[in-house]
Amino acid sequence: MNRRWLAFYFFLLLPTWAQAWPSFDRPDFIETEWTADDMVYNGVRMYIENIHCDCQYEKILNYYRKHWAEGEIDEKGFVENDLGELKQISRGDEKYFFSVQVKADPLDAEKSVGRLVITELPGNRATKVELGGGIPMVGNSEVVSDISDSMPGKRARTVVLLNEKSIVDNMDFYRMHYENAGWSSFLTPVNPSVGSQALSYRKDGVDINIAIHEQAGASVVLFNEVKSAF
């Protein structure tokens, strides 16, 4: 599994807030828990709910096989595939892609856990999204993922970067970028010889947290920006 998919699975777990979405039919025998309704993953908007059910996951899959195949929503049917350890059944329309992803509960094989996901098809966006746009980075950095979400009074963005520069080079770049621009540092840098680095800055209601670590001879930069007013 490549690093983009790993980033995708990781960020599916992050909580987010606020946006109108089309309805997603739910059988009455499952419980759902809202997780994210204004997440943008690599330019694609997503809505996510966690699923809990006191039943085996085949019961959930059978519900959607029947519900979607009979055209209760439309006549486009569905597709099924494995998504890692998850069993996925999906359907799409002109604007959205609907997915149900389920597996056995690790604590009880007679129960199920999973998620409902609505993804807005990229072609419905009026403007093209530049991944990593506006984020400072050293030259020749690769944008692995770019995630944004919102919560009451705040807007957060997390970008994962990969580059061939050392931890020290990355650290020096960000320290020069933010400190020369008058940002206040509120985290003392650690010794980069330990294989990782963390930097934090604050200015005008914006918090920046940067974690840098070495992986397979490259530097992985986790850049997090939280704006308290937007």
Answer for the pair 26, 32: CB distance below 8 angstroms, yes or no.
yes
Instruction: Quote the pLDDT of residue 70.
Output: 61
Instruction: Quote the pLDDT of residue 104.
Output: 96
99 and 52 share one domain:
yes
Instruction: Quote the pLDDT of residue 76.
Output: 53
Q: Tokens 């604050």 — which residue?
A: 202
18 and 103 share one domain:
yes
Give the H or E element holding residue 7. Answer: helix 3-11
Instruction: Quote the pLDDT of residue 175.
Output: 92
Q: Tokens 């800055």 — which residue?
A: 201
9 and 97 share one domain:
yes
Nearest residue to 36 (alpha-carbon basis) of 147, 139, 127: 147
Which parts of the chain have pLDDT scores under 70? 1-19, 70-76, 123-128, 187-195, 229-230
Phi, psi for residue 179 in degrees, rounded to 5: -70, -35
Last residue of a domain, one of 124, 156, 189: 124
Answer for the pair 61, 89: CB distance below 8 angstroms, yes or no.
yes
The tally of domains found in the chain comes to 2
Q: 171 lies in which domain range?
A: 142-227
**CATH label of the domain that carries residue 163:** 3.30.530.20
Measured CA to CA in angstroms, residue 90 lies from 69, 77, 106, 109 at distances of 11, 9, 23, 23
